[in-house]
Amino acid sequence: MSRPCRRVPTGAFATVAIAAVSLGIACFDFSGYSLQGYGAAGPDADVPDSDQPCTPPVEGGECGTFPQCGCLPLLACDVSDTSGRTKCVVDQGRKLGALCDDLFSGCSLGLTCVDQTCKKFCVSTRNCENGGGCIQVRFKSGSAYHDIPNMKVCTDQCDFMRPDQICDVGATCVPALPVLGVQPGYSVCKLSKVTEPNCEQSEDCSPGKGCGEDHQCHSWCKANLPLACPPLQKCKPFKVNDVYGYYYVGEEPFGLCMQ
The answer to whether the peptide bond before residue 237 is cis (omega within 30 degrees of 0) is no
Q: Exposure of 259 by Cβ count < 10 A (0-12 exposed, 13-18 middle, 19+ buried)?
A: exposed
Is the previous residue joined to 67 through a cis bond, with omega within 30 degrees of 0? yes
| For residue 20, pLDDT beyond 70 | no
Does the pLDDT of residue 104 top 70, yes or no?
no
- The pLDDT of residue 233 is 96
Q: What is the pLDDT of residue 115?
A: 85
Task: Please determine, for residue 198, whether its predicted confidence score (pLDDT) is greater than 50.
Answer: yes
Average pLDDT over residues 238-251: 91
pLDDT at 201 over 60: yes
Among residues 227, 224, 226, 232, the alpha carbon closest in space to that of 254 is found at 224
Q: Write down the pLDDT at residue 102.
A: 61
The answer, yes or no, to whether residue 154 has pLDDT greater than 70, is yes
Structure confidence at residue 12 (pLDDT): 28
Whole-Å CA distances, 209 to 172, 201, 257 = 9, 11, 9
Q: Where are the domains of the chain?
A: 15-154, 163-258
Q: What is the pLDDT of residues 26-50, one digit of tens each?
A: 323 333 444 443 444 444 444 555 5
Answer yes or no: is pLDDT of 119 > 50: yes
Q: How confident is the model at residue 159 (pLDDT cuts 50, 70, 90)?
A: very high
Q: Rounded mean pLDDT of 150-156? A: 94
Alpha-carbon separation of residue 49 from 64, 65, 165, 239 (angstroms): 12, 13, 32, 44
Comparing 80 with 45, the larger pLDDT belongs to: 80
Give 5's Cβ-side CA count (13 Å radius).
21
pLDDT of residue 131: 93
Confidence of residue 65 (pLDDT cuts 50, 70, 90): very high
Cβ atoms of 154 and 128 within 8 Å: the answer is yes
Distance of alpha carbon 259 from alpha carbon 256, whole angstroms? 10
pLDDT at 4 over 70: no
13: pLDDT strictly greater than 60: no
